[in-house]
Structure 1
Amino acid sequence: MVSRMLALLALAAALLVGLPTAAHACSCADLTPALAVREADAVFTGTVTNVREEDRPGRPRVYTFQADQVYKGTPAARITLTSNADSASCGYPFQRGGRYLVFAAVSSTGPAVEGVELSSGMCSGNVPVDRGTGPLRPGDERKAGHESLAGPVDAEFVQALGTPQPPAAAAETGTVEGPLRADGDAGAGDVWGWVAGGAGVVLLVGALTAAALRRRGSAAGRR
């Protein structure tokens, strides 16, 4: 009888110890750089400028990044994405002011926030990196974080990322404005605008001159 009670107590203790571990664990398989890039829709380095907590329990956090180098996806200056607020759900805890190499994807099963398409998580391969704005290079230091992307920043790592693009234009959710034109570089619409404006001035001057001549001729006739 005593042995049965001890066995039950041991089983209960094991369950009590095991449940929190299972509830709070997020297990990620190690990623190679090439696999992390292939599975992502957007890959960029950027600094977290804003963190928004949704007002309903269970809703994800919304992170806004000032991107400095874009390796995959639309080269926008500002990129917004979501991640689960709970690390047990594999949410990635991006820190405001921190710079990261970010892997994000458009996923129908990810945390949904209206107007935000991209999401990322602890198993996506995100890596905290040193401050700066330049492309990652072999030998760059990786800061300690919640990486699932294994290995140092070496030549293979950088080659897998590919050649980055600098952000083309500011955008709130990863879309880019139309191409900018330098001052003085007149497009076809501007040229036709000047032509139409000049023609209007010529017609107005001609009409005023003709009216003046008619008035002069009428005055001479009355004499």
Structure 2
Amino acid sequence: MTLLLRRLLVLLLLVLAPLPVAARPAWACSCADNPDPLGRSETAFVGVAEDVDGAMFGNEVEVRFAVESVQKGEPGDSVTLVTMKDSASCGYEFVEGGRYRVFETDGQTNLCDGNELLSTGQATGGEDRTRIFWGGTVLVLLLVSGGVTWLVRKS
């Protein structure tokens, strides 16, 4: 292999290696613009997610909320709603201990309903995803630098 070809290979590795790590996932769920979530919902409230039960049969999660204040309807002191397990299926990812503004219809809520995290009660999945992203980036950079070092020593 010529020196020029090796240098082009190293340059190509340095440019293309971070792409798989930096790529964002594609979601199957797409929400139309919902300017008035309160108007579309049957019930709206602010509450704390006390229990997130992902052990339900199928692709659903049951979430129990302690209601703090009511914006629409009469939910009572406690509300249990169903959502899909992940955001790709339009599910809203509630975290136990999180305080949310929730909009529901027919005992269900989803990513497109306008739910809003107001405050976290404990670590969210976003922190784990960030840690995984940076760990993957460091791993790719170490592999690329090792490959570059090997190519430079070989020439």
TM-score between the two structures when normalised by the length of structure 2? 0.57
Give runs of aligned pairs for residues 30-109 of structure 1, distance below 5 A. Answer: 30-32=33-35, 35-56=36-57, 58-106=58-106
Quickly say closer, same or farther: Cα 1:82–1:75, change in 2 above 3 A: closer
Q: Which runs of 5+ in 2 are unaligned?
A: 1-24, 121-125, 127-155
- Relative contact order, higher structure (CA 8 A, sep 6+): 2
- SS of equivalent residue, structure 2 residue 33: coil
- The count of aligned residue pairs is 98
Distance, in Å, in 2 between the alignment partners of 1:30 and 1:80 is 26
Quickly say closer, same or farther: Cα 1:128–1:76, change in 2 above 3 A: same
Distance, in Å, in 2 between the alignment partners of 1:95 and 1:59 is 17
Write out per-residue CA displacement over residues 95-135 of structure 1, whole angstroms, 9 at most, x where no aligned residue: 100000000001xxxxxxxxxxx10000000011137xxxx
Paired residues of 2:64 and 2:78 also in contact (CA < 8 A): yes
- SS of equivalent residue, structure 2 residue 59: coil
Amino acid in structure 1 at the alignment position of 2:108: S
> Alpha carbon RMSD of aligned pairs, Å?
2.2
Distance, in Å, in 2 between the alignment partners of 1:121 and 1:30 is 14
- Structure 1 residue aligned with 2:116, among 119, 127, 131? 127
Distance, in Å, in 2 between the alignment partners of 1:29 and 1:128 is 20
Paired residues of 2:43 and 2:75 also in contact (CA < 8 A): no
Write out per-residue CA displacement over residues 146-177 of structure 1, whole angstroms, 9 at most, x where no aligned residue: xxxxxxxxxxxxxxxxxxxxxxxxxxxxxxxx
Which residue matches 1:29?
32
Quickly say closer, same or farther: Cα 1:88–1:77, change in 2 above 3 A: same
Quickly say closer, same or farther: Cα 1:30–1:77, change in 2 above 3 A: same
Distance, in Å, in 2 between the alignment partners of 1:75 and 1:97 is 19
The alpha carbon displacement at 1:55 in A equals 4.4
4+ aligned runs moved over 3 Å, structure 1 = none
Distance, in Å, in 2 between the alignment partners of 1:78 and 1:41 is 16
- SS of equivalent residue, structure 1 residue 68: strand
Paired residues of 2:56 and 2:62 also in contact (CA < 8 A): no
Which structure is larger by alpha-carbon Rg, 1 or 2?
1
Identity among equivalent positions (%) equals 37
Distance, in Å, in 2 between the alignment partners of 1:55 and 1:61 is 6
Distance, in Å, in 2 between the alignment partners of 1:78 and 1:60 is 19
Give runs of aligned pairs for residues 95-174 of structure 1, distance below 5 A. Answer: 95-106=95-106, 118-130=107-119
